Structure formats: C-alpha cells, structure tokens
Structure 1
C-alpha cells in the first residue's frame, strides 16, 4: 500500500499543497517566487514518479506553462491596468457608480454590480469582466466607506456563474459539444441553473460575509486608496459624462461580443464570412482591451491637470502594477499545470468512474475533484465530459443536466493552483485570507448550489 501511494499522484498533490502553504502562508514569500518554487518542486517530483517525465522537463514545462499563461492574460491584464487606473483617476468609475446608485438606490449598489457581471460574462470571458468591473467595486467602496467584501463577491459571483453554465463561454460550449447536447437547450437550462447559483453566492453569501469581514481599501492597480477617496468626494461637475465614462467598458464588451455573434450567425448568413477576418481581429480580447485602454486613457488625459509627460508616467506606473499581477497569475496557472502533469486528474477520475452512485452526482464529483487537484475549471469540465459522454445514454433525464453538473463541479474551490484565484486577489487588492473567504468560498457555493439546482430541475422537468 505504501508503494502504491508513493507512486500515485496523491503524493505529488500533497507535496504541492504543503509547499505552497509553507512558502506563501508560513514564510510569506512574494507570491510569484513561492509559486515558481512550488511549480519547479512539483516538476522534480513528477520526474521521480511519472514515466517519461524527465528532470529537464521540470524546468521547461514550468516555463512553457508560464509562457502560455502570459500569452493568454499578459496583454489583457496590462491593458486592464490602464483601463482601471484611467477610469479611477479620471472620475469615470465614480460617474458610473453614481449612475448605478441613482437607478437602484445607494444602499443597493451590489445589485448593479451583480447583474452587470452576470450578463456581461455570457458573451465575454470572466477575466475580462473582472478587469472592467473591479474598478467600479473599488470606487463604490471609496464612496460608501464600507461593503467592499459584498461588492467584490457580487462581481466575482456573477461572472464565475456565467463562465461555467451559459454558452457561448468556452467551458459549457465544449462540454455540450462533447456530450452532444443542443446549444439552445444548454443556454436555456444554463440560465435556469445560473440564477439561483449567482443569487446564493453573490447576494446571500455576499451579505453574510460582508457582515463578518471588513476589507479595507488598499493601493492596487497603480491607484492609492487616498486617490480613490479623493475622487469619491468630487462634485458631479468635475467628473466626465456618463457616455464618455462607460465607453471603455462598452467598447470592450461590444468588440469581444461581435466575434461571438458573427460566429453564431455565420451558418445562417454565409455573407458574414466576408467580415469574419476583421471581427476576429478586433474581437480578440487582446485587441478589444487595447482599444478600451486607449479610450480610457484619453479620458484620463482630458479630465486631469497632468502634462503629457506626467500622464505617461502615471500610465507607466499602472503597467508596472499590471505586470506584477500578470506574472503572479500566469505562475499560478503554471503551478496547476505541473500538478496536472502528475496525472492527478485521470487518477481521481478513474477512481470515481465505477462508484455506484447516480450519474449526475458522479459527474459532479469527478469534475470537482479534478478541479481542486489541478486548478483549471475548463480542464476539469473537459475531463469529466470525456469520461461521462459514453454514459449519457444511460441517464433517465435529458443529457443537458449532465452538462450543468459538470460545469458546477468544475467551478468548485478555486485556490492557489488556479490562475483565477491570483487574478481576483491582485486586481481586487485582497490578502490571501480575504481571497479564500470571498472568492474561494463563492466558487464553492456556486458549485454546490448548481448541483442542487440541477437535481431539483431534473426531477421536476426531466425533459427525457
């Protein structure tokens, strides 16, 4: 038994978990350094126990995974840093916050953030939504002087829920394709599952944790708390107009959504193929956020008393902050990738495949355990989908419910090996403990509420 354990991915997982807690929590090393050491160490363990994994790969695969992570989030985070800095410093974020509060009431600001993030995350990746709405949450905290835990949970919950339940986001889209479920019914049931999940995690839990956790406003994304508080006290006349203020967010969402829309309609309107190359370019999140950053930065220049050289210096400071965030986020993903290389995902998936419980619960468990072990929600969902797809015909209910429980399981417990954990921590200006109590907790609540919702819906409306 001891020999089996020594040669199982469980040992790698235990070592990785111990190391990251020791380095980041006990020794309090800089996050990037601690995650790099943990990733390299997991690679060394893989070289000992994983066939065909060499010691050289412990270095090269860490670097490759880090590079892949930077390729995915490097430009968006850097441009998001400019968007955030510019919207906060110009007063654009305050103008939007005051507009929200005039619509829903000053004491109901969380509903505006929650609804916005949920809707925006359907056509736009979660990370892009968080980049755009986190500055609004920080501005609301500066204006209200409290409730930051509630605001950050509301933003995170809406985006994270849409990310795993509602196509055309990549995870549920890929799982529905793997299992062979129609996209229309997937979107319909996805919305039905997302609403209670987002409500429980973003509003119910948001209010509960907010009463127990007071998160102070800290320097983040190149903007100090003093600067935020100064902007919050400005008169309305000194702030940009509503349309100019919201332009960066609208531009990013419209551009990214255009690619999704054209892809969806091209089969019905073949002529759209002529504009596809252009839309593919401007709809890419790297380009879309660059355009949004330009719009935000120009508004910042117009509504500040800075010279061009001072303005350039402020944007450079924002890029320095964004570079650190991008590096930490990408290294968190690399740590998860090295854990995945140990075979931890298939190890748990194979172990659960033959358990004698319902197929829906089995699928949720497989996705959940793989997610906790290797960090990536999308990878966990695809792993579970590959295993469960051949068994879909055995379901007594519509297979769309299988898509939903896989999404629910894949969202559980985002922690140190998930790049999303570090993105929320760094952009939100949170400590590790605060991130665990807000972000990690809300992803777990989404997962459990999603499972319960699917079990209830599939009982009431089997659709078989």
Structure 2
C-alpha cells in the first residue's frame, strides 16, 4: 500500500532520471537491462508514494507496459529488419539512392530524403516511415562516404514533424477532435506549421550538426558496414530496377494509406464502408509491413547468387537484430509509462493552471513539460488537450492554432523515456551521445520552431 503523506511526482521523475543516467551512461549497462531496472525501480517508488499502486504492480505494470509496447511495434520492427536487410543486400536501396541523386544531384541527396520522409509521414505513421527510409540513409552514406548525421536527421525531421502537426496521424487527429476543430482546417494549418519546423529541424540543423559530428556507419539491422560499402560499388546492371527496388516502400505506403483514406472519407463517401473491413486488415501496419517484407525478401533472393538455406539464415539474423531493437524500444516506452503512473502528467498540468500567460503558450508549456516527464508525445498531447478544451472560448484566434501549439509542445526533447529515442538510436546504429545530439535536439528544434510559427501565423492570420 502507498504511504499516506505529501509527495510530489517530481521526486519520482528525478529518481527515474538519475537512475537511467547512472545505469546507461555511467555504468554503461545494455540498454534493455538498464531500462528494465529503471522501470522496476520507478514502479517501487510509485508503490511507496502513490495511492492504489501496490508493490506487486511495480512488476506487473512494467511487464504490461512492455507487452503493450511490443504489441504496437514488435511485428513492424521485425518486418522492418527484413525489409532493411533485403533492400540493402539486393541492391534495391542503392538503386533508389542512385535514382534520387540522378534527379536532384548528388549534393542534394539530403533534400530528396527530407522531402520523401515529410510526404510519406502524412499518410503513414512516424515509425513506419523511419523503418522504410533508414536503409536509404545508410546506403546513401555508404555510397558518398560522408553525411550520415545529415541523412538520419532529415529522415527523422520529416517523419517527426508530420507526426505531431498533420492529421490523419493519430496525435493531432485526436487533439483536434478533443478541442472540436474542423479536420480540414487542422490539416491546412498543420501543413503550414510543419513546413518551417521540418526545414529548420531537418535541413538547417541537419547540415549544422553534420559539420560538427562525424557519425560513422556501424553494423545495424543485421547488415555490416563492409556489406553496405560493397553494395555501394556494384554496377547498375547487377541491381534491381527502380520499380522492383521501390516495391516494398510503395506497398507499405499504399496499403497503410488506403485505410487512412477510407477511414477519413467514409463519412463523405458512404460507399467506402463496403471495403472498410478488407482495407482495415491490409492497411494495418503489421500486415502492410509483412507484405512489404515478403516483396523485399523475394527480390533479395532473386538478385543474389545464394542458396535458399543461406537466404533463410540471413533473414533470421536480421530478425534477431530486429528483436533486440524491438525489446529496447518497448522497454523505453515502459519506463515512460511507469513515470506517467506516478501522476506526473496531471501534477504538471495542475501547476500550470491559472498562470497569466497566453493560452497558446500555456498549452505549449503544459504539453512540453508532460512530454519531457513521461516520454510519450501522444500522451502529452491528449493530456493537454483535455485541459485546454474547456478554455477554447477564450481564444482570440482559430482553435486550430491551439492544436498546433499542443503538438509542438508534445514533440520536445525526446530522450530515454521515449520509445522513439531508442528506435532512432538502434536502427541508425548510433551511440547514446550521438542520439542526444541528433534526435533529441532535432525534436526540440521542431517544437520551438512550431511554437514560433503558430505565434506568427496567428498574429497575421487569426482566422477567427
């Protein structure tokens, strides 16, 4: 039973922060082990201080949160490992990279990746976009021999920006619903806010950090650096064509987007309801990425002179690598969930109520602090939306700007308690320090730029 005396959830947050830094940075434990210990410990602190949280739940809630995380990302990450391995080994990733460079020029490869991730992230969720484009960033680095930090940042920037600003991604969609904002207006304002945020976070910061930090290409997702560099030197005649190379990405995007389209426009076109059950199945990211993985694996087998048994062994190695990434990512989410169980979200939200600053800035601050404290961007956005919804009548501008401010705040400072941090680190093959310098700073720049854009747009175009 919880001890009944005054307790600030900030104490639990501080303990979790100190512990995770001690375990992962100072003692350099394996990420999964360190995050597991940190999550269990935060659970024990909750059991001491939080009402209706028993010592047994310190274990069971950690396991449940980990299981929920695996349910969301387990199959996609495993299939992404197969896609990445197959596209890199078959030469498909190289073909796409060379096609990009032939269109925009070798010096503008970052723009090609940035544009692709930004557009793809509107119909497809952030994690799926990163699964699909990270192999291209790795291949581009292998081909050019430099700019790996830049390529990873531009991919992450496009995907992360659309994730918090542009429906039908779930965060802004749910916030718009809670606030009561028209979806069309939310999309229009979201795109307007997303563009400067993606430019500043991806192209501007990406080019800056690339000149400061030289991140080497490391073994990741079952593929070694030597294999990547060898594929980069292959002749064009020995690798698949553009259509076959792009097929896994096309399949994943079209299948996932098909459900997004039907779900968004079913009310406008009622006939779409007849195909919704089928589209709900093939458009599920687990199924879509599985189909894409099959296509990629078959191309790998067709274009490599290897036996079927060796092909199976190579895919199994990729799955082993993917399993480790999935476990780390899910446990990072579990650590964040245990911090959230301390009540840190509502505590922070309550502390901000009644502060005499503009509602737009207040919403951003609440979402930002909750995000840093508990890790989940979507949870921070939804918590803040529930607080701000009753206050929308006080706004002098269109409430779509409030949705964007909440999204911007919810994206800030992704770190150890966010599964996205570990996803970026593990798939990219980065160290923790490199991930903090790239991904954590990137998400913060997107957040601050998003707020500035909202304040500027709402001043000149209040739309009220």
- TM-score above 0.5, yes or no: yes
Is 2:39 the counterpart of 1:39? Answer: yes
Does residue 325 of the first structure (1) align with residue 325 of the second (2)? yes
Counterpart CA distance in 2 for 1:5 and 1:236 is 70
1:152 and 1:353 map into 2 onto residues whose CA distance is 38
CA contact (8 A) 1:368 1:412 kept: yes
Taking structure 1 as reference, are residues 92 and 22 closer, same or farther at Cα in structure 2, changes over 3 Å only?
Answer: same
Shifted more, 289-298 versus 350-359: the winner is 350-359
- Quote the residue 2:212 is aligned against: 212
Write the distance in 1 (CA, Å) between the matches of 2:101 and 2:335. Answer: 41
Closer, same or farther: CA 174–268 of 1 in aligned 2, 3 Å: same
Written as runs of structure 1 = structure 2, the 5 A alignment for 1:373-392 is: 373-392=373-392
The Cα of 1:271 is off from its aligned counterpart by 1.9
- Tell me the secondary structure at the aligned position of residue 212 of structure 2: coil
Shift of 1:353: 1.4
Aligned to 2:12: 12
- Separation in 2, partners of 1:270, 1:362: 40
Aligned residue for 1:107? Answer: 107
C-alpha displacement at 1:265, in angstroms?
Answer: 2.0
CA drift at 1:244: 0.2
| Equivalent residue, structure 2, for 1:166 | 166
Q: Please give the residue correspondences for 1:228-307 in structure 2 after superposition, counting only pairs within 5 Å.
A: 228-307=228-307
Alignment deviations for residues 296-320 of structure 1 (CA, whole Å, 9 cap, x no partner):
0000000111100000000000000
Deviations along 1:69-117, one digit per CA (max 9) or x if unpaired, are 0000000000000000000000000000000000100011000100000
The equivalent residue for 2:157 is 157
Compute the TM-score of the two structures, normalised by the length of structure 1.
0.99
For residue 5 of structure 1, report the CA deviation from its aligned partner. Answer: 10
Contact 1:76 1:286 in 2 (8 A): yes
1:66 and 1:367 map into 2 onto residues whose CA distance is: 24
2:132 touches 2:249 (CA, 8 Å); kept in 1?
yes
Aligned residue for 2:34, secondary structure, equals helix
Residues of 1 paired with 2:198 and 2:258: CA distance?
A: 25
In structure 1, the partner of 2:314 is 314
**Aligned residue for 2:447?**
447
Q: By how many angstroms is 1:348 displaced?
A: 0.5
Once the two structures are TM-superposed, the CA of residue 263 in structure 1 deviates from its matched residue by 1.1
Contact 1:84 1:221 in 2 (8 A): yes
* CA distance in 2 between partners of 1:330 and 1:5 (Å): 33
Q: Give the deviation of 1:4 after TM superposition.
A: 11
The aligned counterpart of 2:460 is 460
1:354-399 Cα distance to aligned partner (Å, 9 max, x none): 1111100000000000000000000000011000000001011111
1:405 and 2:409 matched:
no
Q: Distance in 2 between matches of 1:263 and 1:70?
A: 25
- Tell which deviates more after alignment, 346-355 or 34-43: 346-355
Question: Which residue in the other structure is 1:67 paired with?
Answer: 67
Q: Using the alignment, how far apart are the partners of 2:305 and 2:426 within structure 1? A: 29
Q: CA-to-partner distance for each residue in 1:322-356, whole Å, 9 max, x for gaps?
A: 00000000000000000000000010110011111
Stretches (4+) displaced over 2 A: 3-6
Asked whether the 8 Å contact 1:348–1:369 carries over to 2, the reply is: yes
Give a deviation string over 1:100-148, Cα, whole Å, max 9, x none: 0001000110001000000000010000000000000000000000000
Question: Cα RMSD (Å) of the superposition?
Answer: 1.0
Q: Number of matched residues?
A: 462
Counterpart-to-counterpart distance in 2, 1:383 and 1:5: 26
Aligned equivalents of 2:266, 2:453: Cα separation in 1? 34
> Which secondary structure does the structure 1 equivalent of 2:251 belong to?
helix
Encode CA deviations 1:166-199: one digit per residue, 9 max, x unaligned: 0000000000000000000000000000000000
CA distance in 1, matches of 2:353, 2:119: 35
Pairing of 1:419-438 with structure 2 (within 5 A) = 419-438=419-438
The whole-number CA distance in structure 2 between the counterparts of 1:17 and 1:423 is 19
Q: Does the CA contact (< 8 Å) of 1:251 and 1:292 recur in 2?
A: yes
Tell me the SS of whatever aligns to 1:211: helix
Name the structure 1 match of 2:138.
138
Which runs of 5 or more structure 2 residues have no equivalent in the other structure? none
- C-alpha distance in structure 1 between counterparts of 2:7 and 2:387, whole Å: 23
Q: Is the 8 A contact 2:156 2:439 kept in 1?
A: yes
1:353-372 equivalent positions in 2, closer than 5 A: 353-372=353-372
Mapped contact 1:5–1:11 kept (Cα < 8 A):
no
Q: Does the aligned pair in 1 maintain the 2:4–2:49 contact within 8 Å?
A: no
Q: What's 2:336 paired with?
A: 336
> Alpha-carbon deviation of 1:269?
2.0
CA distance in 2, matches of 1:264, 1:378: 19
